[in-house]
Chains A and B, each alone.
Chain A
Amino acid sequence: DTAVSQTPKYLVTQMGNDKSIKCEQNLGHDTMYWYKQDSKKFLKIMFSYNNKELIINETVPNRFSPKSPDKAHLNLHINSLELGDSAVYFCASSPNTGDYGYTFGSGTRLTVV
């Protein structure tokens, strides 16, 4: 069983479209994150949720909207996709906000054309 699973693994879409990425963890962790990895491999946090509550909301365009229906799931919806949104998006989870032992998913490579 995959501990943190993301779908889809690849996403190719046109500018202006709306898309969603889903993440699920079966580790029983309370905290989940979205990180963006750019073309230079730099990892930057976007959002975090702790037990369905939004904890971190970095300087991210409001076209990005996370949703956590329960503590095992964290989804990312992106409206009006732009070329600059092309990146690899990683979901991660940790036991809680005080325990930083992240487990990452395998990533979703988003390509906007």
Chain B
Amino acid sequence: GENVEQHPSTLSVQEGDSAVIKCTYSDSASNYFPWYKQELGKGPQLIIDIRSNVGEKKDQRIAVTLNKTAKHFSLHITETQPEDSAVYFCAASVSSNTGKLIFGQGTTLQVKP
């Protein structure tokens, strides 16, 4: 069935270092891959997304790469700051065009000052 695997489950980095979170998906018809950031006590917030016709997208310190052949995509955060500490979720669209997203298990990122 539809599945998204996300690794690592926890990630601790020093301020200023880079952080990378990886996801793999099972549905070869998935064509939309968003990343969400969830801070404590809040709802997930969309931070960047990529569509299947694009291999890479960047927005300031955040970038996402997509490898459709291997069915995996990654989030890269450079020059991490303490305010980047949160839970990050990847997701993939389901081929049925119902608006449904399948989420990964989440990565808790801790940026140490």
A-side residues, CB < 8 A to B, are 4, 31, 33, 40-45, 48, 50, 55-56, 90, 92, 94, 96-107
Contact count A vs B, C-beta below 8 Å: 64
Residue in A41, A43, A56, A100 whose beta carbon sits within 8 Å of that of B93 in the complex: A100
B-side residues, CB < 8 A to A, are 32, 34, 36, 38, 41-46, 49, 87, 89, 93, 97-101, 103, 105-106
Q: Are A100 and B43 touching (Cβ within 8 A)?
A: no
Kindly state the separation between the CA atoms of A45 and B89 in the bound complex, as whole angstroms.
14
Q: Are A31 and B43 touching (Cβ within 8 A)?
A: no
Known contacts A41-B87, A41-B106, A101 near B46 by CB under 8 Å: yes
Kindly state the separation between the CA atoms of A38 and B111 in the bound complex, as whole angstroms.
25
Q: Are B103 and A33 touching (Cβ within 8 A)?
A: no
Residues of B contacting A45 with CB < 8 Å? 100-101
Minimum CB–CB distance for B94 against chain A, Å: 9
Q: Are A105 and B43 touching (Cβ within 8 A)?
A: yes
Known contacts A90-B44, A102-B46, A104-B45, A31 near B99 by CB under 8 Å: yes
- Which residue on B lies nearest to A93, using beta carbons? B99
